[in-house]
Amino acid sequence: MKSNYAVLLIAIPLLVAFLQPLFSLINKRLTKWVTFLTIGFNFIYSLKLLNYVMANGAQIAIIGNWKPPFGINLYLSPFSMLFATIIYFVALIVLLVYLIDKPTEVDDRMSIATLLMVMASGAITLTGDIFNMFVFVEILSISTVILISFNNKGISFKGAFRYIVLASLGSSMLLLAIGFIYGSLGTLNLASIAYRFNLLNPVYASVIVFLFMAGIMVEAELFPFNAWVPEAYKGSKSYLNALLSGVVGTTGIYVLFRMFITIFGSGQNHIQVIGSVNFNAVIIVIGVLTTLIGEFSALSQKDIKKILAFSSMAQMGIIAVTIGVANMNSINAGIFHLINHAFSKSLLFIVAFPIINIVGSANIDKWEGLGRKNIFLAIAFAIGSFGLIGIPFFNGFWSKMMIVESVVSAGGWMYLVIGTILLSALVETFYFFRIIFKLFVDKKIESTYSVHIFIYLAILILSIIVIYIGIKPSFLATYIHKAAIDLVDKSHYISTVLGVIK
């Protein structure tokens, strides 16, 4: 019964969000703090739950006293709790910067949107019901639109509009997929869908998987649905980009992992050709295309936000490849890389914020000489990029090694995929080192902007994590290993939720 209290992770932010308009009547700055404290509560509570499920195995939280598959349930497992915790953590760090940003007239609305966005991302990772997931995906995409259009520039509105068009296209497809699922299986519960999905006619099943994949690819920043990425990132504030990449992107990829491996896939034997189409190959091709497009677009950009946006797109592609390869090692590597990417990319976006303010431009050509002005920011930027590229003894190194290893072990035409991953690493190295060399050019910058202690704090925390994982990757290994086991163990998922042993 204790696990039922996990619903507080969703209920408390919702309650606070409904109360925020009242707080804003008192003071608009207060709402920022309330949001920060609520997400802080979520982080601490989810950390506690993560340790609980690590020790005691997966749990479910039922809602409305209706057991699954009749009611809605939350599924708390090492995998879902790990990602919920990371999402809350990244959001907490980003909010540290938001707290000290200069006040605007719409701060109250922004705090509510941020709170609901983080809440929805957490809820998507936890929920065990497909329609509930759809509702939270909608909350996520609407609050993301508000977040993007916060900056009040033409390009932000364009980015926001492109995002919402793609998101509602995606949600229509998601809802159509839900309709197909309910019409055939007569249920909306994920475990129950997983239990009976292989009974479906393969042609029919592949329509469902196709629609579902298309629906969630907007959030995951994968190829045909990622046209929103450059404008949305360019148009929004740079620390909020950390939320777009570290929270929205992570959630999208999480859903792909969960749905393709546990729910639609056949889980344990690691080879899941779903329906009449080989969706593993489809995902690998999409991942490779996303990576190539992302990396080469990043190479030609001069604007730091766009560079980081395209780079995060490319990383999502690499992680999508690991979903397609779908053996135990690649899933381990994919989860690890997703976590590393969330940390390093948030670090880079947060560092970019004071740098842009000091230099007065997001154009990297103007960044020359920053190392002389503020060595700490320059070093932090270098740490973040090393983590992302995968320089030895930084976090990305281990996960990229694992990805390459796992793809090699899959053999066959996967060598082409390896070529792509290595090429992308090379391109990445090139454009990040280009920036880092510029940072350490000997040149004087005139600026009166003083960096707030909270920004240093956020940067310090993330840098320490990036370096710590790099030196001691075993720190996360137990969590990731358990998460991967949880992810591929389809029958365990079904028996935990439904009590039916297959």
Partner 1 sequence: MIQSTFFYTTAIILFLIGLYGVLTKRNVIKTIITLTIMETAVNLFLVTIGYVKNGTAPIFTSTISDVHKFVDPLPQALVLTSIVIGLGTTALMLSLAIRLYKKYKTLNYLEMDGEDEK
Partner 2 sequence: MKNTQGMVNAFFAFLLVVILGIFFFNAINQPLGNGLVLNKDNPDLSKRVSIHYILKNVHNAEDYLAQHKSSYFRNRDKVKSSNLEFGKTKNAESGSANEVTSIVVNYRGFDTLGEVTVLFISILGLGMLLHENKKKYWAKPSLIVRTGANFLFPFIVLFGVYVFVHGHLTPGGGFPGGTIIASAALLLILGLKDFKNKLTMTKIIESLAGLTFAGLGLVGLFTNGSFLTNFLPSGTMGLLVSSGITALIYIAVGIKVAAELSSGIMEMNGGGEE
216 scored as a contact of partner 2 (CB under 8 A): no
161 binds, among partner 1, partner 2, none (CB under 5 to 8 A by kind): partner 1
Contact by Cβ (8 Å): 359, 366: yes
The site partner of 17 among partner 2, partner 1, none (C-beta below 5 to 8 Å per kind) is partner 2
CA 307 to chain centre: 18
- How many residues comprise the chain? 502
Q: Strand pairing partners for 76? A: 59
| Between 108 and 368, CB nearer to partner 1 | 108
Please report whether residue 491 would count as binding partner 2 according to CB under 8 A.
no
DSSP 75: E
Which two tokens mark 181?
């699922």
Binding mask 201-230 for partner 1 (x = CB under 8 A): ------------------------------
- What region, left, alpha or beta, does residue 390 occupy, with left being phi > 0 and alpha being psi -120 to 50 degrees? left
CB 381 within 8 A of CB 350: no
- Hunting for tokens 């598959």 — which residue is that? 69
Q: Which does 329 bind (CB under 5 to 8 A by kind): partner 1, partner 2, none?
A: none
Q: Report the distance separating Cα 490 and Cα 499, nearest Å.
A: 13
Select from 30, 54, 100, 106 the one that contacts partner 2 (CB under 8 A).
106
440 binds partner 1 (CB under 8 A): no
Binds partner 2 (CB under 8 A): choice among 72, 335, 435, 497: 72
Which residues within the stretch 8-67 sit at the binding site for partner 2 (CB under 8 A)? 8, 11, 14-15, 17-22, 25, 61-67
CA 405 – CA 429 distance, rounded (Å): 20
Could you say which residues in the range 454-473 bind partner 1, by CB under 8 A? Answer: none
In single-letter form, the type of residue at position 40 comes to G
Query: For the chain, how far is it from start to end, CA to CA, in angstroms?
Result: 25
Q: Which of 34, 63, 160, 218 binds partner 1 (CB under 8 A)?
A: 160
> Per CB under 8 A, which region of 152-160, 254-262, 382-390, 480-488 contacts partner 1?
152-160
Candidate ranges 131-139, 310-318, 334-342, 378-386; the one touching partner 2 (CB under 8 A): 131-139
Residue 7 touching partner 2 (CB under 8 A): yes
What, of partner 2, partner 1, none, does residue 196 touch, CB below 5 to 8 Å by kind? partner 2
Residue from 494, 476, 473 nearest 484 by CA: 476
Binding mask 170-209 for partner 2 (x = CB under 8 A): ----------x-xxxxxxxx--x--xx-xxxx-xx-xx--
Candidates 15, 19, 165, 453; binder of partner 1 (CB under 8 A) is 165
CB of 453 to partner 2, least distance (A): 29
Interaction between residue 179 and partner 1 (CB under 8 A): yes
Residue whose C-alpha is closest to residue 17's, from 103, 114, 86, 104: 114
Cβ 104 vs Cβ 110: under 8 Å: yes
Q: Choose from partner 1, partner 2, none: what does 254 bind? Cβ within 5-8 Å by kind.
A: none
Contact 352, 238 (CB under 8 A): yes
Nearer to partner 1, 71 or 369 (CB): 71
List binders of partner 1 among 184-203 (CB under 8 A). Answer: 188
Contact between 318 and 423 under an 8 Å Cβ cutoff? The reply is no
Report the alpha-carbon angle 323-123-454, nearest 5.
95
Determine contact, residues 233/307, Cβ cutoff 8 Å.
Answer: no
Q: Which residues contact partner 1 by CB under 8 A?
A: 131, 135, 138, 142, 145, 149, 153-155, 157-158, 160-161, 164-165, 167-169, 171-172, 175-176, 178-179, 182-183, 188
